[in-house]
Amino acid sequence: MSEAADEMHLLRLAEEILGEIVWERAEDIEDISVEYWTLRKFMLQKNEIDLKVNQAADVLDLSHEERNAVLNKSNQSCLALEKKRDELFAKSTALVAERDNLISKARLLRRKFDASRTKIQVLSEDVDNAEIVQLERRKLSDYKNEFARLKDSRDEVGERITKLDLLIARIEESISEDRGRLRQEASEAYQSIGKANRDISQLSAETGLIELGIQEHFCAVGRYVSNHASTNPICR
């Protein structure tokens, strides 16, 4: 049962890869015109969302800069609170860097996983490669375990960042009244940060759904081209 599932997975992967390669040349194939135009729509939607994500990221960066500028205008009466806040902010910044590093490692691991999975697909066609294929399958298992570990670490770091940001916000609320105007400016920056983060999260979720749809339609195109390569000249 496991081998059959692996074979189905590899077949689906092959169809997806083929579909991704050829779909832009499938406009004139009537049988998959729905898939072709749906993919065109998905790509347009994804490009629009990517643009919005970049815009939200720019707003987020600018809001962080504005927040930092406001926080640096502290007066002598707030030194103790500001010192504590700055310590927490430094920890938060370090954790953000740590989280980014974990994300980079996960992306690299995903590339290795995809490469190994494709290698299995290619080599599985020859029984003489059984030993190599088995080794690659073990690698896939190791990659999955490592990816899960990285995800858990990323989530744990994210929770710590959230807690630190909450502490920082509470300290800011305790700063004396003579910083009222500056505090208001900081509040506006925090609101912008919160909105930008929410926008990015929502857009990321929308991107995920679109990417799933793209994968499904890649598979459909790849399956059609593969099945009709011998009978339909345009599929060759």
Question: Which CATH number applies to 75-174?
Answer: 1.10.287
How many Å apart are CA 38 and CA 225, to the nearest integer?
A: 17
Q: pLDDT confidence of 160, banded at 50, 70, 90?
A: very high
Instruction: Name the pLDDT band for 79 (thresholds 50, 70, 90).
Output: confident
- Residue 94, token pair as written in the block: 């370090």
Residue 230 gets the label, from left (phi > 0), alpha (psi -120 to 50) or beta, of alpha
Domain positions in the chain are 1-73+212-236, 75-174
**Per-residue pLDDT, 77:** 56
Confidence of residue 132 (pLDDT cuts 50, 70, 90): confident
pLDDT value at residue 177: 61
Tell the residue number behind the tokens 């593969």, with chain if given: 226
Among 7-11, 15-19, 78-82, the minimum mean pLDDT is found in 7-11
> What percent of the chain has a predicted confidence (pLDDT) above 70?
86
Give the mean model confidence (pLDDT) for residues 150-174. Answer: 89
